[in-house]
Amino acid sequence: MSNTFQVDLRGIVDLLSHHLYASPRVYVRELLQNAVDAITAVGPDHAGAVAITSADATGDGTLRISDNGIGLTEAQVHELLATIGRSSKRDELGFARHEFLGQFGIGLLSCFLVADEIRVHTRREGAAPVLWTGFSDGRYEVRPGPEREAGTTVTLLPRRGAEHFLTGTTVVELATVYGSLLPVAVTVDDRTVTTGVLPWQLPPAGRMAYAQETLGFRPFDVIELNVPGAGLTGAAFVLPTPVNPASRGGHRVYLKRMLLSENVEGLLPEWAFFARCVVDSSELRPTASREALYDDGMLAETRDAIADQLRGWLVRLAATDPHQLGEFLRIHHLGVKALALHDDEMLRLVEQWFPMQTNMGEVTLAEFRSRHGVLRYAATADEFRQLAAVAAAQDVGLINGGYVYDAELIERLAATDPEVRVERLDPTDLTTRFVPLDTEVELRLRPFLAAAQRRLDRLGCEVVVRAFDPVTLPSLYLVSRAAAFHDEFTASRDEADDLWGGVLDALSRTVPADRPQLVLNHRNPLVRRVAALGDAELAGLAVESLYGQALMLGHHPIRPSDAALLTTSFLGLLDRAVPGEENR
């Protein structure tokens, strides 16, 4: 036994007219859409026109929109205007007819956002005029209408509280926003709002002025877009200032020259956050609310095609205007680097043109390779700050790989080109370049080293003495990656409950137990004076102070035990420096 769904028409009207659309403003767009489609149905040579008369001009609070399009017969009025989801723009198989804007048969319902009553006075050539009246509670009436020329006039009777949407100022604004590019003449109270000129067809100065007025910025450059498969033309306006990559800016999209939305997402790939697009398409599909694009294969292909055109623009800049490319990279390097993670051509562009921070100044990866032969980098900004000066003094070039994508790009270069040598610098690697002490000096310092080691044993730090540059640096705190991992593992074990603590204890046998090193610089005069002190307590306080200074200069985290040591060593040195009352 089969049954038919029972439909509450008033509820359906409320659902579609109040919850499908984001704003009552869209009613002007839907009325324009129906008028333009009616004109299109007459034929390509028909001189169409749409006239809107606002509530200010009608004098009775109503709004009227008239077109000289094809009109409807009485049978079509019953079939189309009274059937939700049925559109005259579909054929019998349900496929949208290519030349029309509307597809879903629900556009007229958007008028119930601002009106309690909708009147449609229409006549098709060779048929009698018809007057259809729809009410917001779901009722409708059809009766013969007064004589008129072929075409349609829609009259809206405002609902309480929505009168301002039908005023001249508001209607002019909305008709201009949605319909300024339409190929038919549109007037509001005898004022023409259509220009008929696509902004990307303007001369360069006109494009800049359009972006300033419409998008709110003067673009760094304008890139023409053309995707024939989607019937898409337009332009990408490159932002002149940096933008947060996480903010996905929307794009101004027209469908058959009617504005879909000013904030459409998904038109560009994620890495292209540096551009805002204005485009018109005849093939991309809108959602039912006509406020977004339907995410299908056509949109994906269009997105890929636009990505290729943006990539081509960057390549052309590299070949024809390196200075402008350098300026662009300075502003929008994050987007290009994100693309370079997946695109070999962009990877080479970054290598040749984007300057990275090194301990020898800002240079490109290509320049760094030509000077040093190997792309040696620190994986984090903290590691770079710790090692940059010391590495430079040893004539070791070092790249700061701590910025977003930099380390990944360096490694990817080696993966794509066997001639590129890459090396991640471990902090302890520098000790191999430090000069060991003479045997005689080392024997003389052995008692001092033993005392210093006793002072720092409780902190898990090994004390060594080497000779290195720069001479002005008295000490250096070096943590190998293995030691850093051991510290993190130990901290996790201390914070874990009994269950996970037992698991971590079982794993602890496999964790290397390397210790950080405090490397004292024997070339530094202060270190030599400390090592020569006859007062063991004073020498111990001095070593603890050098340990604290090395931690802070290297931007290492300060543990509670380190903070306590810094306090006691500082107070101890201060106590020795300031004589007490008994010594005065």
- Within-domain flag for 494: no
Top-confidence range, 79-83, 430-434, 471-475? 471-475
Domain boundary among 296, 319, 342: 319
* Same domain, residue pair 574 and 459: yes
* Same domain, residue pair 267 and 350: no
pLDDT tens digits, 157-167? 998 999 999 99
CA–CA dist 573, 542 (Å, integer): 8
- How large is the average pLDDT for residues 268-286? 91
Over 80: is that where the pLDDT of 104 sits? no
CA–CA dist 208, 370 (Å, integer): 41
CA–CA dist 346, 343 (Å, integer): 5
User: Tokens in use for 527?
Assistant: 């270190």
- Within-domain flag for 502: no
- Within-domain flag for 503: no
* Same domain, residue pair 158 and 116: yes
* Same domain, residue pair 47 and 157: yes
CA–CA dist 346, 323 (Å, integer): 17
Domain boundary among 297, 319, 341: 319
What local confidence, expressed as pLDDT, does residue 512 receive? Answer: 45
Domain boundary among 177, 192, 207: 192
Torsion angle of C-alpha atoms 393, 398, 400, 402, degrees rounded to 10? -110
- Within-domain flag for 498: no
In the three-class reduction of DSSP (H, G, I as helix; E, B as strand; rest coil), residue 220 is classed as: coil
CATH number of the domain residue 573 falls in: 1.20.120.790
* Same domain, residue pair 405 and 464: no
Give rounded-to-5 percent helix, strand, coil for the chain. Answer: 45, 20, 35
CATH number of the domain residue 31 falls in: 3.30.565.10
* Same domain, residue pair 45 and 150: yes
- How large is the average pLDDT for residues 163-180? 95
- How large is the average pLDDT for residues 301-328? 92
**Cα 550 to chain centroid, rounded:** 39
What local confidence, expressed as pLDDT, does residue 496 receive? Answer: 54
**Predicted confidence band of residue 582 (pLDDT cuts 50, 70, 90):** low
Model-level pTM?
A: 0.72
Considering just the CA atoms, what is the radius of gyration of the chain in Å? Answer: 37
Which residues does residue 140 pair with via DSSP β-bridges, in sequence order?
A: 134
Under 8 Å between Cβ of 240 and 324: no
213-227 burial, b at 16+ Cβ within 10 Å, e below that, comes to: ebbeeebbbbbebeb
- How large is the average pLDDT for residues 68-88? 76
- How large is the average pLDDT for residues 112-138? 91
CATH number of the domain residue 275 falls in: 3.30.230.80
Q: What total of structural domains would you count in the chain?
A: 4
**Cα 508 to chain centroid, rounded:** 42
* Same domain, residue pair 303 and 346: no
Q: Which comes out higher in pLDDT, residue 74 or 382?
A: 74
pLDDT tens digits, 232-271? 999 999 999 988 776 667 899 999 999 998 989 889 988 8
- Within-domain flag for 152: yes
* Angular region, 59: left φ>0, alpha ψ -120 to 50, beta rest: left
**In sequence order, what E strands does 439-526 have?**
462-466, 475-478, 517-521
Distances (CA, A) of 330 to 242, 276, 311, 337: 9, 18, 17, 12
* Same domain, residue pair 149 and 188: yes
Under 8 Å between Cβ of 222 and 230: no
pLDDT tens digits, 205-215? 999 999 999 99
- Within-domain flag for 3: no
Q: Provide the residue range defining the domain that includes 234.
A: 199-319
CA–CA dist 225, 272 (Å, integer): 14
CA–CA dist 126, 74 (Å, integer): 12
Over 70: is that where the pLDDT of 351 sits? yes
pLDDT tens digits, 223-233? 999 999 999 99
What local confidence, expressed as pLDDT, does residue 194 receive? Answer: 93
pLDDT tens digits, 493-536? 555 555 555 544 554 444 345 788 899 999 999 999 999 998 98
What local confidence, expressed as pLDDT, does residue 308 receive? Answer: 93
* Same domain, residue pair 152 and 239: no
Nearest to 157 by CA among 133, 131, 121: 133
- How large is the average pLDDT for residues 191-209? 92
What local confidence, expressed as pLDDT, does residue 14 receive? Answer: 66
User: Tokens in use for 576?
Assistant: 């020795």
- Within-domain flag for 79: yes
- How large is the average pLDDT for residues 293-311? 93
CA–CA dist 296, 232 (Å, integer): 16
DSSP code, position 82: T
* Same domain, residue pair 13 and 90: yes
* Same domain, residue pair 92 and 13: yes
Nearest to 390 by CA among 483, 482, 480, 472: 472
Q: Which comes out higher in pLDDT, residue 110 or 36?
A: 36
Top-confidence range, 78-92, 108-122, 383-397, 567-581? 108-122
Q: Which comes out higher in pLDDT, residue 573 or 10?
A: 573
- How large is the average pLDDT for residues 123-128? 94
Torsion angle of C-alpha atoms 360, 364, 365, 371, degrees rounded to 10? -50
* Same domain, residue pair 396 and 250: no
- How large is the average pLDDT for residues 552-580? 86
* Angular region, 290: left φ>0, alpha ψ -120 to 50, beta rest: left
Query: Taking all residues of the chain, what is their mean pLDDT, rounded to a whole number?
Result: 84
Over 60: is that where the pLDDT of 387 sits? yes
CATH number of the domain residue 362 falls in: 3.40.50.11260
With a pLDDT cut of 90, the percent of the chain lying above it is 50
Give the least confident one: 59-68, 380-389, 398-407, 426-435.
Answer: 426-435
What local confidence, expressed as pLDDT, does residue 93 receive? Answer: 29
- Within-domain flag for 490: no
User: Tokens in use for 465?
Assistant: 């003495």
